[in-house]
Amino acid sequence: MIFQTSFILAETAAPGGILGNPLIMLVVMVVMFYFLLIRPQQMQRKELNARIAALQSGDKVVLTSGLYGIIHTVKEKTVMVKVAEGTMLEFDKAAVATVQKK
């Protein structure tokens, strides 16, 4: 009698389903992490790099230090930023955080 009861209970146990497998859950989490965090950040960085490559004199910029200014001249790796009347500072192009066109 006890053997029959345990045999019946073993047969009626529900399978784990598709989400019961820990490997599948891990893969789903990695894919979600990629599409929700990594990919959007890569796209934003690519867009910013394109804007930095297209910098021109007169563009308004915000630097990573929080400094606001207007591009005066653009060199190969640096930009001259006018921050006040008669005040120009030279920064690396990587210091540009955002670009607003004229």
Question: What pLDDT digit, counting tens, does each position of 45-87 carry?
Answer: 999 889 888 989 999 999 999 999 999 999 999 999 999 999 9
Distance CA 99, CA 71 (A): 10
The tokens of 102 are what? Answer: 């004229």
pTM, to two decimals: 0.61
Report, at the CATH architecture level, how domain 14-100 is classified. Roll (2.30)
Residue 90: pLDDT band (50, 70, 90) is very high
The tokens of 78 are what? Answer: 């640096």
Instruction: List Cα–Cα distances, 86 to 63, 72, 74, 83, 89, in angstroms.
Output: 19, 11, 17, 8, 10
What are the extents of the domains in the chain?
14-100
